Amino acid sequence: MACPFRRAIAAQVSRVLDLPPEKLINSITAVAVSKKRSSEDFQLFVDSVVENGKRLSIHDLQAQTQRLLEQLKCDAVVNEISSGPGKIKFKINREVLAKTIVQQVSKDGSEYGFKSELLSSLPRGKIVVEFSSPNVAKRFHVGHLRSTIIGNFISNLMKALGHDVTRINYLGDWGMQFGLLGAGFQQFGCEEKLKANPLQHLFEVYVQINNVAEKDENIQKAAQEFLRQLEGGDPQSLAMWQHFRALSIEEYTRVYKRLGVHFDEFSGESFYQDKAQDILKLLENRGLLRKTEKGTGVVDLPEKRVGSSYATVVRSDGTSLYITRDLAAAVDRMDKYCCERMIYVTDKSQENHFQQLFQILRLMGYKWTDGCCHVPFGLVQGMKTRRGDVLFLEDVLDEARTRMLQNMTSSETTKELEDPYDTAEKVGLAALIIQDFKGPLLSDYRFDWDRALQSRGDTGVFLQYTHARLHSLEEMCNSGRSDDFNAACLQDPQAISILQHLLRYDEVLCKSCEDLQPKYIVNYLLALSHLAGVAHKTLPVKGSTIDVAQARLQLFKTVRSVLASGMKLLGIKPVIKM
Ligand code: ARG
């Protein structure tokens, strides 16, 4: 359902300004809750609606603000109308505020906020999100971890918004590493070890053969020969490659599951090996391919901002490159999914690659390129485990769980848990995700386990703790389900602050959808948890009269519901005990 408050305000303003209410809705924003508690709930910046957003002179702005203030009238929903510099402020009837929000959250559940007119006016469609995309037999580095959690968040958000989302993992499953693996497996490989721990074993073989190949030219030749056979479609080489790939995917899937991430499709560079040749033909036919003296093929790029004036798309021996396969993959995906948007999530070192990719697609005449975007993120320094560098995704998950388990064991407040490992894993992951999502994605940051795992302060542990505490409050005091409560009992300033904060959730979601940045939601949920913490201390449920207890319980339930949905969007599984 739409926000009845914005509607009521828009209806009023619409009458005075003679503008359709729909034009006004987006300009009516909830006032952010601050230490200095404000009694107004919404505000309207006058210059955003008068004169079509044109900047007014101070004098005109004052005059218009005054005019609006004089002509607007309070009603059953809007109790007070006042003005500030260049804006009109609105206070909602307190009982209506409490009743409406609590009921709305209870009715909408995880869709609360998404049903708001701010979001429902955004277009819906098909979206492909490509993320994680590790390289088989190579290490899974922190960049892949970031891509995984960010891509998962974007997919969750788009899905919640009502898009039809396809999640693709584009594996690095082709190229010289397979040549080396093919040549190296006979020497260093072991079928049992491969079955038991494919990612680890392939990586070991890869490292070993690499070391040897550095000194021995024959090995290099053997690797090239294996790759040549692979590219030529030799059944035996292909079967081996297929075997490595399938076992790796199986293990990736298991580890992604621990992380709560799934993919609709595991594609990969291998798949576009042949199709890349079709792309080269297309480029040639359209006169976009230029042969260089060295025998390579390049596409000239007129847009200068992409770092280079050309992109190499074919080697002198006729084989394709990373970008050629990406061209083929994009065209193929569009054919298959006919999507409105295609989102790629990788670290910022690939920014030029994607800008070049999009530019070539545009030169090829694909109008849908406008719907393609790269979401880049910064580098993370210092993520290590006690055993050393992070080699695999599982190392990070294990480390987060172990450290969290230790913290829980040494904490006096930890509850008796059915499955402490599971809880530690969920809380540890929340810590990782929040540390990563707190700032702008593009910023680099230094990873710090101790800081991430602090139980107080702005951490994922704190969010989980708040959620668990609210859950146990419900368990302890639950007097059966009842949305019918006395809203007059929710008038304490701590309760009002929470309600005001809840009014702003749709704006926060909207901002996140526009920018594809999780930080707005993270900071919103942290603030919500702080407000809930204060309210939990000052507004007891136990020991209050039935009416008051009932109303407060409803408020806490409401908070927990929004907290849980927000956490799930971020890829966190809320715990109910810790
Ligand atoms: N496998 C690549 C890497 O690890 C990332 C792939 C990104 N996606 C793409 N379509 N190029 O760097």
User: Which pLDDT score is estimated for 2?
Assistant: 63
For residue 334, the CA-to-ligand 1 centroid distance in Å is 18
pLDDT band at 307 (very low <50, low <70, confident <90, very high): confident
User: Which pLDDT score is estimated for 318?
Assistant: 86
pLDDT digits (tens, 9 = 90+) for 485-498: 999 999 999 999 99
For residue 271, the CA-to-ligand 1 centroid distance in Å is 14
CA distance 555 to 490: 8
Give the Å distances, CA to CA, from 391 to 135, 199, 350.
12, 10, 21
CA 329 to ligand 1: nearest atom = 10
CA distance 350 to 354: 6
Section 442-461 average pLDDT: 93
For residue 32, the CA-to-ligand 1 centroid distance in Å is 39
Q: What is the CATH number of domain 393-570?
A: 1.10.730.10
> Is the confidence at residue 561, as pLDDT, over 70?
yes
> Is the confidence at residue 306, as pLDDT, over 70?
no
Scanning 50-139, the segments in alpha helix (DSSP H) are 58-71, 94-108, 117-120
Question: Residue with the nearest Cα to atom 6 of ligand 1?
Answer: 133
Return the sign of the alpha-carbon dihedral for residues 218, 220, 223, 225.
Answer: negative
User: Which pLDDT score is estimated for 484?
Assistant: 81
pLDDT digits (tens, 9 = 90+) for 261-279: 999 999 999 999 889 999 9
Q: Percent of the chain beyond pLDDT 70?
A: 98
User: Which pLDDT score is estimated for 23?
Assistant: 87
- Is the separation of the CB atoms in 503 and 118 below 8 Å? no
- Is the separation of the CB atoms in 342 and 372 below 8 Å? yes
- Is the separation of the CB atoms in 289 and 347 below 8 Å? no
CA 354 to ligand 1: nearest atom = 11
- Is the separation of the CB atoms in 297 and 287 below 8 Å? no
Question: In this structure, what are the phi and psi dihedrals at residue 101, rounded to the nearest 5 degrees?
Answer: -65, -45
Section 448-473 average pLDDT: 94
CA distance 558 to 498: 10
Q: Across all residues in the chain, what is the average pLDDT?
A: 92
* Same fold? 4-92, 393-570: no
> Is the confidence at residue 39, as pLDDT, over 80?
yes
For residue 1, the CA-to-ligand 1 centroid distance in Å is 40
Residue 84: closest CA among 99, 95, 70, 69: 69
CA distance 54 to 341: 32
Report how far Cα 364 is from the mean position of its chain's Cα atoms. Answer: 31
Strands 28-30 and 42-45: antiparallel
End-to-end alpha carbon distance in the chain:
35
- Is the separation of the CB atoms in 96 and 41 below 8 Å? no
Of 3.40.50.300, 3.30.1360.70, 3.40.50.720, 3.40.50.1980, the CATH number of 4-92 is 3.30.1360.70
Tokens found for residue 259: 């992380």
Tokens found for residue 110: 């995880």
Section 442-470 average pLDDT: 94
CA 143 to ligand 1: nearest atom = 4
Q: How is the chain split among helix, strand and coil, in percent rounded to 5?
A: 60, 15, 30
Q: List 165's β-bridge partners, or say none.
A: 127
Test site for ligand 1: of 144, 170, 327, 392, most ligand atoms within 8 A of the Cβ: 170
- Is the separation of the CB atoms in 315 and 291 below 8 Å? no
- Is the separation of the CB atoms in 395 and 368 below 8 Å? no
CA 347 to ligand 1: nearest atom = 12
Section 254-258 average pLDDT: 93
Question: Residue with the nearest Cα to atom 10 of ligand 1?
Answer: 326
For residue 131, the CA-to-ligand 1 centroid distance in Å is 8
For residue 170, the CA-to-ligand 1 centroid distance in Å is 7
Test site for ligand 1: of 136, 344, 346, most ligand atoms within 8 A of the Cβ: 346
Question: Residue with the nearest Cα to atom 11 of ligand 1?
Answer: 326
Question: Residue with the nearest Cα to atom 4 of ligand 1?
Answer: 134
Residue 118: closest CA among 500, 566, 501, 509: 509
Lowest mean pLDDT among 292-296, 348-352, 409-413, 550-554: 409-413
pLDDT band at 52 (very low <50, low <70, confident <90, very high): low
Residue type, 35: K
Strands 126-130 and 164-171: parallel
pLDDT digits (tens, 9 = 90+) for 13-38: 998 888 898 889 989 999 999 888 88
CA distance 78 to 68: 15
pLDDT digits (tens, 9 = 90+) for 91-143: 999 999 999 999 999 999 999 999 998 898 788 999 999 999 999 988 888 89
Q: Percent of the chain beyond pLDDT 90?
A: 76
Residue for token pair 């006032």: 31
User: Which pLDDT score is estimated for 150?
Assistant: 98
CA 322 to ligand 1: nearest atom = 11
- Is the separation of the CB atoms in 506 and 113 below 8 Å? yes
For residue 363, the CA-to-ligand 1 centroid distance in Å is 22
Question: In this structure, what are the phi and psi dihedrals at residue 576, rounded to the nearest 5 degrees?
Answer: -105, -5
pLDDT digits (tens, 9 = 90+) for 497-530: 999 999 999 999 999 999 999 999 999 999 999 9
pLDDT digits (tens, 9 = 90+) for 383-407: 887 877 778 889 999 999 999 999 9
CA distance 68 to 45: 11
Question: Reading across the β-sheet that carries 87-92, which strands appear in turn?
Answer: 28-30, 42-45, 87-92, 78-84
Residue 559: closest CA among 118, 117, 106, 1: 106
Test site for ligand 1: of 128, 130, 131, 133, most ligand atoms within 8 A of the Cβ: 133
Tokens found for residue 362: 């545009």
pLDDT band at 473 (very low <50, low <70, confident <90, very high): very high
> Is the confidence at residue 53, as pLDDT, over 80?
no
Tokens found for residue 291: 């042969």
Lowest mean pLDDT among 14-18, 54-58, 290-294, 338-342: 54-58
Question: Residue with the nearest Cα to atom 3 of ligand 1?
Answer: 134
For residue 352, the CA-to-ligand 1 centroid distance in Å is 13
CA 346 to ligand 1: nearest atom = 7
CA 144 to ligand 1: nearest atom = 4
- Is the separation of the CB atoms in 434 and 460 below 8 Å? yes
Active site residues: 138, 141, 144
- The domain limits of the chain are 4-92, 126-274+317-377, 393-570
Q: List 436's β-bridge partners, or say none.
A: none
Query: What is the full DSSP assignment across 216-284?
Result: -HHHHHHHHHHHHHHHTT-HHHHHHHHHHHHHHHHHHHHHHHHHT---SEEEEGGGGTTHHHHHHHHHH
For residue 391, the CA-to-ligand 1 centroid distance in Å is 17
> Is the confidence at residue 280, as pLDDT, over 90?
yes
pLDDT band at 49 (very low <50, low <70, confident <90, very high): confident
Residue 44: closest CA among 59, 23, 58: 23
User: Which pLDDT score is estimated for 51?
Assistant: 67
User: Which pLDDT score is estimated for 413?
Assistant: 83
Q: Which residue ranges have their beta carbon within 6 Å of ligand 1?
A: 130, 133, 135, 170, 172, 326, 344, 346
User: Which pLDDT score is estimated for 94?
Assistant: 95
For 240, counting Cβ atoms within 10 Å of its Cβ (0-12 exposed, 13-18 middle, 19+ buried), the class is buried
Q: What is the CATH number of domain 126-274+317-377?
A: 3.40.50.620
